[in-house]
């Protein structure tokens, strides 16, 4: 399943010999458990700030809320070195082999700071859900890869950037509020390229895709659906069933 961007799922499951393993052998630390279900940004604000947090589980779900401060300095010695040639470390890395992931992420920096990188992967779970809350409008990139899970992403209404999706047996569904603002660049064998917002005003295309530092989604599920909505939308079951129809209608 080809998709733009580095495969953090593969990188996180390689040992020093380069072989893929179920769990990262040199995980930097045992983080505290975050099992309280996030219900609002107010609940998220009660958590301490973090940066470069890694949570990996083999047999259980990952569920919680995190306040990510990309300016926060962390002791580098606690983290394993990045593989040679890899891109910057994720500010929040969540990975479960067979569990589900439910995450509410509050970004504390503003738009003048470099974008945040959020990675959430589940090999054999049934769902990955990520909600971004960014009061100061910090730009961000989300990477999510899974084999069979449905990936659901909730983003702020000011999001403006490319969306890269890959699914062989699932479908890509945009909410009714997002669908009219989607520009479709390519759909090739399950690998799709879209842009949400006004790409002319953002300067997208004036540099290579790898040089883009604005908002971005890179989402891949082999057999699951990919669903994208605004964070303040309340999507009903009926609307969810209609998303594929509206996505087709508003492609341009």
Q: What is the DSSP letter of 14?
A: B
**35 Cβ neighbours under 8 A, 6+ residues apart:** 63, 64
Q: What is the pLDDT of residues 37-68, one digit of tens each?
A: 444 454 566 778 999 999 999 999 999 999 99
Q: What is the pLDDT of residues 145-154, one digit of tens each?
A: 999 999 999 9
For the chain, the domains span 8-249
**Residue-wise burial string across 201-240, b where 16 or more C-beta atoms lie within 10 A, e elsewhere:** ebebeeeeeeebebbbbbbbbbebbbbbbebeeebeeebe
Model-level pTM?
Answer: 0.78
pLDDT at position 21 is 38
| Cα dist from 103 to 61, 151, 168, 223, 224, whole Å | 11, 12, 25, 21, 18
pLDDT at position 20 is 39
Residue with tokens 């380069």: 18
pLDDT at position 85 is 67
pLDDT means per 10 residues, the chain with 252 residues, are: 45 40 38 41 70 93 97 86 77 96 98 96 96 97 97 98 97 97 95 96 90 97 97 71 49 40
pLDDT at position 26 is 38
């Amino acid at each position: 399943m080809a998709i733009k961007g580095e495969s953090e799922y593969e990188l996180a499951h390689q040992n020093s010999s380069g072989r893929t393993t179920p769990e990262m052998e040199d995980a930097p630390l045992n983080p505290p458990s975050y099992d309280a279900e996030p219900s609002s940004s107010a609940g998220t604000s009660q958590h301490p700030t973090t940066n470069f947090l890694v949570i990996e589980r083999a047999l259980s779900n990952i569920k919680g809320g995190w306040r990510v401060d990309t300016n926060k300095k962390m002791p580098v010695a606690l983290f394993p070195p990045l593989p040679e040639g890899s891109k910057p470390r994720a500010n929040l890395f969540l990975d479960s082999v067979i569990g589900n992931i439910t995450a509410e992420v509050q970004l504390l920096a503003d738009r003048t700071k470099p974008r945040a990188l959020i990675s959430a992967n589940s090999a054999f779970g049934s769902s990955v859900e990520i909600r971004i809350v960014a009061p100061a409008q910090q730009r961000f990139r989300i990477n999510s890869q899974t084999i069979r899970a449905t990936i659901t992403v909730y983003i702020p209404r000011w999001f403006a950037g490319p969306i890269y999706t890959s699914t062989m047996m699932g479908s890509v569904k945009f909410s009714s509020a997002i669908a009219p603002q989607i520009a479709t660049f390519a759909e090739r064998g399950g690998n799709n390229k879209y842009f949400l917002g006004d790409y002319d005003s953002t300067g997208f295309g004036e540099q290579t895709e790898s040089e883009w530092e604005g908002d971005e989604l890179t989402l891949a599920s082999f057999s699951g659906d990919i669903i994208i909505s605004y964070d303040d939308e309340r999507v009903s079951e009926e609307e969810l069933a209609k998303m594929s129809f509206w996505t087709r209608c508003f492609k341009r």
